[in-house]
Structure 1
Amino acid sequence: MSLARFLVKRALQGVLVVWGVVTVVFGLRFISPGDPANVLLPPDVDPQVRQQVIAELGLNKPLHVQYFEFVAGIPVGDLGLSLVTRTPVTGRVLSKVPATLELAIAATVVAVVIAIPLGVVSATRRHEPADYGATLFSLLGISTPNFWLGVMLIIVLAVQLDLFPTSQRPIGLDGVFGLLVAGQVGNAVDGLLAWAWHITLPAVTLGTYFTALITRLTRSGMLDELGKTYVRAARAKGLPETLTRYRHALRNTLIPVITVVGLQLGTLIGGAVITEAVFAWPGLGTLIINSINARDWPVLQGSLIIVAVGFVLVNILVDTLYAYVNPQVAFD
């Protein structure tokens, strides 16, 4: 199968996945407790005014009519209007995507930079102190709740030691690029440093579990590859041990690692809710929590749809990378 046919096939599958997410999320709106009108209106409002507001919001229409109107607007980027602010949902959701992507990618970079070398060291020094230390780190990383870790990092590193800020996002990478385009190199460098300073604690918090997972996966994969015949043959030919480990064994270990990295990147995009809430990071997670509290279902639906689309795109990208990491993998 050619790359073009593979991409078309996966795109069609992705459309079905997104449609399923849209249907489930839309259905949850009607079985969840709480009425948006109760949030928008005081308890003692006149019943006629209440019915008028419900009619203006379109909440009195039959379920199937609301569903088809909502689905019909998605292909053209119309996700409806916020029940609270009466502003387009698409603009509100897309404005939060850069902050969430920055946090997810930063957490992934932290995890990969730490985990792969740690996993290689653990595998090549099996049953040594370095191996035991890496195993203990993985166990602690997987077992530690990220919300608790985030609070502890804030208390110790931000409050007591005053090494990092406690919250907020002073400037995004889009703002940094805008300064570079405008020729303000000095301000762009300062903005980039401020961004890195503020995102360090959230990225470490979000990426700790991911780091532990990749460490264990790299270790088990390296142990499996180092025991295979081609590694013994490479050593028998007199190849340097470093070349054998990193050029051959590690490369063959990267297939499952890439799979997990891709899947976890999509998970991080949708799973940063707690981390964003702890650090007041203005991304999709914060928007989702605020939408749930306000019963603002159009904004919540739009946020979850964007998360689903991001997850699908990441998975397609990961599957495409397989062929470049291992030519034996075909597009099927």
Structure 2
Amino acid sequence: MSLSRFLLKRSLHGLFVVWGVITVVFGLRVIAPGDPANVLLPPNVDPEVRQQVIRELGLNEPLYVQYFEFVAGIPTGDLGLSLTTRTPVAARVLAKLPATLELAVAATVVAVIIAIPLGVISATRRHDPADYGATVFSLLGISTPNFWLGVMLIILFAVQLDMFPTSRRPVGFDTIVAQALALQFGSAWDALTTWLWHITLPAITLGTYFTALITRLTRSGMLDELGKTYVRASRAKGLPETLVRYKHVLRNTLIPVITVVGLQLGTLIGGAVITEAVFAWPGLGSLIINSFNARDWPVLQGSLIVVGAGFVVTNILVDAFYAYLNPQVTYD
């Protein structure tokens, strides 16, 4: 099967998954307690006014009519109107999405840069102090709650040492790119340093569990590959140990690592809720929390659909990347 046919097949599968997400999200709104009209109206409102608002929101229609109207608007980008601000949901979600993507990608970069070398060192120096140190680090990383780690980092590096800010996102990465394309390199550099200064602590907080997971996966994969026949044959041919270790063994080890990185990237997009709340990072996580507290179901629905679509797209890209790392992986 060619790459184009594979992508088409997986895209069709992905559409069904997204449709399932949309259906589940709509069902959660239906079974959730409370009336959306209560968000807009005071408790002592006149019953006629209340009924008029319900008709304007379409809540008086049968559920199947509401469902099909909701689904029909999604392909055109119509996710409805926010109950609290009466603005398009799609515009609000897209305005918050870049901040969450920046945080998720930054956390992934931090995890990969630290975890893969640490996993390689742990596997090649088995039972040495470096191996024990990497094992302890991964255990602590998996066991530490993100919200507690974020608070501790703020207390230590922001309050006590005054090295990093406690919150906010004064500049986005899109601004840095725009300034660089406009040849405003001085402004772009200042914006980049400000961006790095503000995103460092949130990225470390969000990526700590991810770092520990990749470290353990890389270590186990390296140990498994080092014991295979082709490694002994490569060494018998006189190939340098560095070439064997990093060109052949590590490359084959990266197959499951890439899988986890792709899946966890989608998880980080949805799992950044707590980290964004701790650092007041203005992304989808903060929008989801605020929408839930305000019972703004259209915004909550739109945010969850975007997160679900992010999972699907990430999985498709990860599967397509397999063949580049390992020619034995086919698109069948």
Normalised-by-shorter TM-score class: over 0.9
Q: Which residue of 2 aligns with 1:31?
A: 31
- Per-residue deviation, 1:325: 0.4
Q: 2:111 aligns to what SS in structure 1?
A: helix
**Aligned partners of 1:57 and 1:83 also within 8 Å:** no
Aligned position for 1:121: 121
Partners of 1:234 and 1:182 in 2: how far apart?
Answer: 50
SS, match of residue 85 in structure 2: coil
AA aligned to 2:161 is: L
TM-score (norm 1): 0.98
AA of the residue aligned to 2:151: V
Do the aligned residues in 2 keep the contact of 1:263 with 1:311 (CA within 8 Å)? Answer: yes
Any idea what SS the aligned residue of 2:44 has?
Answer: coil
Q: Matches of 1:315 and 1:69 in 2, distance apart?
A: 29
- CA–CA distance in 2 between the matches of 1:185 and 1:138? 39
- Aligned pairs for 1:196-211 (under 5 A) are 196-211=196-211
1:296-325 CA deviation, whole Å, 9 max, x = no partner?
111111111111111111100000000000
Give the SS at the match of 2:200: helix
- Map 1:12-161; keep pairs closer than 5 Å: 12-161=12-161
In structure 1, give the amino acid aligned to 2:250.
L
Matches of 1:247 and 1:324 in 2, distance apart?
14
In structure 2, distance between residues paired with 1:53 and 1:24 = 25
The structural deviation recorded for 1:40 is: 2.0
- The question of 1:257 aligning with 2:231 is answered no
Q: CA offsets, 1:58-87, max 9 Å, x none?
A: 222211111000000011111111111111
- Secondary structure of 1:122's counterpart equals helix
Question: How far has the Cα of 1:176 moved from its partner?
Answer: 1.0
Deviations 1:230-266 (A, max 9, x none): 1111122222211111111101101000000000001
- 2:39–2:296 CA contact under 8 A, matched in 1: no
Give the superposition deviation at 1:229: 1.1
Q: Percent identity?
A: 81
In the alignment, the residues of structure 1 paired with residue 185 and residue 259 of structure 2 have an alpha-carbon distance, to the nearest angstrom, of 37
**SS, match of residue 327 in structure 2:** coil
Mapped to 2, the partners of 1:128 and 1:34 lie a distance apart of 59
Aligned twin of 2:323: 323
Residue by residue over 1:14-66, the C-alpha shift from the partner in whole angstroms, topping out at 9 and shown as x without a partner, is 00000000000000001112222222222222222222222222222211111
**What is the distance in 1 between the residues matched to 2:159 and 2:252?**
44
Deviation at 1:210, TM superposition (A): 0.3
Return the alpha-carbon distance in structure 1 between the equivalents of residues 71 and 270 of structure 2: 21
Deviation of 1:185 after TM superposition, in Å, equals: 1.6
**8 Å contact 1:36–1:294 — kept in the other structure?**
no
Residue pair 2:169, 2:198 contacting (<8 A) in 1 also = yes
Shift of 1:184: 2.0
User: Residues 282-303 of structure 1: CA distance to partner in whole angstroms, max 9, x if unpaired?
Assistant: 1111111111011111111111
Give the letter aligned to residue 247 of structure 1: K
Letter in 2 for 1:184: Q
Which position in structure 1 is the counterpart of 2:171?
A: 171
The 8 Å contact of residues 18 and 308 in structure 1, kept in 2 or not, is answered as yes
Which is worse superposed, 186-195 or 233-242? 233-242
- Give the deviation of 1:144 after TM superposition: 0.5
Structure 1 gaps of 5+ residues are: none
- The alpha-carbon deviation at position 180 of structure 1 amounts to 2.1
* CA–CA distance in structure 2, aligned partners of residues 205 and 220 of structure 1: 24
Mapped to 2, the partners of 1:211 and 1:246 lie a distance apart of 20
Taking the aligned partners of 1:86 and 1:32, their CA distance within structure 2 comes to 21
The Cα shift of 1:150 comes to: 0.6
The alignment partner of 1:75 has SS state of helix
Matches of 1:15 and 1:235, distance apart in 2: 47
**CA displacement at 1:122 relative to structure 2:** 0.4
